[in-house]
Structure 1
């Protein structure tokens, strides 16, 4: 079994992302994660900050139990 290697002389260069752009992605991802955590883990429906008529609690109810969050 022979291994052939092609040496074309090209070297992969890493992509450099500026700190300001990566900070925007980091903050956005953290905000989205916090919002999802609130809806799945904290929102109880009756005391929801979005009012009791949106029924976000009922939409994620089974997911809460599957993930181990207490409910009711």
Structure 2
């Protein structure tokens, strides 16, 4: 299953937690890059896109819940 399909199965609180975890991971990777410890800089791009994907799905779910009310 793809990452977006996994995220779509979660509720809003679960997605918010996922975004928070991804942002922490991205911060750690940025610090590793700054201290020249990061060998695979491509992981920065992957985590940045994962954050964007999760935020997009979160916005969609929040819009759906507002429309349902």
TM-score, structure 1 normalization: 0.37
Q: Which has the higher contact order (CA 8 A, sep 6+)?
A: 2
- Greater per-residue helix proportion: 2
